[in-house]
Structure 1
Amino acid sequence: MVRTGLEALADKTPDALKKARLGLLCNPASLTRTFEPAPELVQRVSDNALTCLFSPQHGFFAEKQDNMVESDHSVHPRLGLKVYSLYGEHRAPQSHMLENLDILLVDLWDVGCRVYTFFNTVLACMKQAARQGVAVWILDRPNPLGRGEEGPILPKDLASFVGPHPMPLRHGLTMGELGELVAFELKLDLDLKVIPLEGWQGEDFATTGQPWVMPSPNLPSFSSARVYPGQVLLEGVSLSEGRGTTRPFELFGAPGLDPWAVSEAVEKEALSGAFLRPVFFQPTFHKYQGEVCGGFQLQVTDPDRFKTLRASLAVLSAINRVHPGLCTLRQPPYEYEYEKRPLDLILGDRRAVDLLQKGTPALELEQAWQSGLADWLSRTEPFLMY
């Protein structure tokens, strides 16, 4: 049975925590297997040492639907504590937000993907905490996708809010491991502590025994999260990624797409461990609101064999061969970047984006990334905790 860092903190609370002034970065998915929310738990075990809260993208209660939909500062309706939004007027904590803290606790589910913005928010907190001499404790959680890495290493010229550090699109680390790695590589003068989780050996979320509570509105189930690191590419193109349906990122397509023709053109080896089920759907909001879209539901049949980025690249490549001009690149802005192409920021490889639009097969695109992934494994090995 896997126990998270939050649960470990509750089982054995360090004395230092009870003597410190605490802040907590969290959201609705920050809870125990018995559904006790992190803010209430921290108040209980620390003798009410919690002084304020911080929220990432989508808001403290994950109520904001889409990218670049900001949250205001607020007050927790039950605890009466100030909630500072780190996805609003500012996307990093300001000095006055940390000035009365000794320790900033972090308890967030990451979904194992560079584009998911929660780690960028954590890194912004780490940098500001280092400037002000505030300790950061990461209450670790499993990487829901388990170990495994895919995609190009992000070049520095494509750094953005969805690319805070040179890493692959799917990185394979926990939030704590990633924090330790990046703090080391950036040489942050930071008092960083990771409260490790227990009983996890790199498996995916399905084996953990933890409840899935959506960390953001469009990851309502683990099946959505499982395909997200590949399907997030759809945010950079004109296809619907299934927002406005009950199966975001699993359902995808566009008006005029022939799912049977596309299915026949997809590289079969790239879909190992998955099945493309032809569907038609009608989004209630977002892209193609009210229009019937042809497309697919991407259904994972064998998680051990499934490669999410490879599968998504293969489908996009096939669509571009079967329906030239149907899948176009979206234009900026995207996550506060107003000049660079969104898909360049998401995938992290301009040349691969251009080749993908020409219908280059996924297995061919992947070959250029293998040396970078080998180097990534060497960089991460000293920081693996599990």
Structure 2
Amino acid sequence: MHVFPAAARLKRRHALILASAATLTACAPHARGTRHTSPDMRGVDRRLRQAVTQGEAPGAVCAIGHNQQIVHRAVYGRRTVIPRPEPMTWGTVFDMASLTKPVITAPCVMQLWEQGLFGLDDPVSRYLPQFAAAGKSAITIRHLLTHYSGLPPDLDLEHPWQGREAAFRLAMGVAPSQPPGSGFIYSDINFITLGFLVEKLSGMTLDAYATRFILTPLGMRQSCFQPPETWRPRIAPTQPDENGHMLRGQVHDPSARRMGGVAGHAGLFSNADDMCLYAQALLDRRAGRPSAYPLQPHTLMLMTTAQQPDGKSDLRGLGWDIATHYSSVRGDRFPAGSFGHTGFTGTSLWLDPGSDSYVLILTSRLHPAGHGNVVRLRHDVATAAALALIPPQD
């Protein structure tokens, strides 16, 4: 976990402010259905209010989609606690953290695959020759996408380094923790490397490619890497960095920040409107309905169905989580065949093609001092939403 020393000094102040935040959220929720007969989402709202009251996160934005509609929107709590409290809003922009992986980097990679520029089982070193160092010549692009490469979780952060070239050298030189295909290790290095692969094959920076070929076709105008200063008042801050500077509009992930804010594993900023656009376009494309989602349906099936090595029980698509120890965000009721992902900052998206539904939860659970925890909240909201949306089976 990325916890910065300066954050500890804010713990006492956070506790003093929490009571007023809880009062605000209990009295002033924003929640409405967008169709004439809305499903009963009182369980969702009750759990979101509880999360704010109990300090799991200072605030939350939640959207439930079903049958091509947003059937529930909810906004609770605070966007900021310090230096002055600000109410959470539907339009708040969040650091999406690892949702960058399936939302941006994986579809960029798969667009290039659709163009025939590589094979999924090609060795990564065929396109990034430096990657063969330290015994990585057998690692394939599929291994990276499914987190079965055997690479360790993170780049070295114990020693000072700065810039994309330094990150490239570290990623190319890292040694595997275990043989490729032998087991599931969730690794940021996998998607840092995939980001470099996109840049090598496309001749564009990752953010420029993603803007042109993912975000713009989908109409996601409130999503980008390196958000401009004019967005700052609408961005939910996370926590102080190692120098005590509150991160607001700068990516929280330390490796992505050292890389300048653009990386394959983290760096996307977005809001609820744009993420709902994304989720609905994905579900529409996967169902064969008209959609702006910029991949072919058969490609999207590869991304959202199990693609891990044969015989392995941790189920991963090409970018999306299906059934691993990270999948508690699915809740108790969404079935096998659903998929999703989480972000370290407190974001999550879970989608169920079978019921044509999705659950989006956006929090900045690290604000102000790095102590929030929304693991149980994600599970409980997904369970409550599924109970409201999916009829019980006899």
Same fold (TM over 0.5): no
Relative contact order higher in (CA < 8 Å, ≥ 6 apart): 2
The structure whose residues are more often helix, as a share, is 2
Under TM normalisation by the shorter chain, which class is it? under 0.3
Provide the TM-score with structure 2 as the length reference: 0.26
Provide the TM-score with structure 1 as the length reference: 0.27
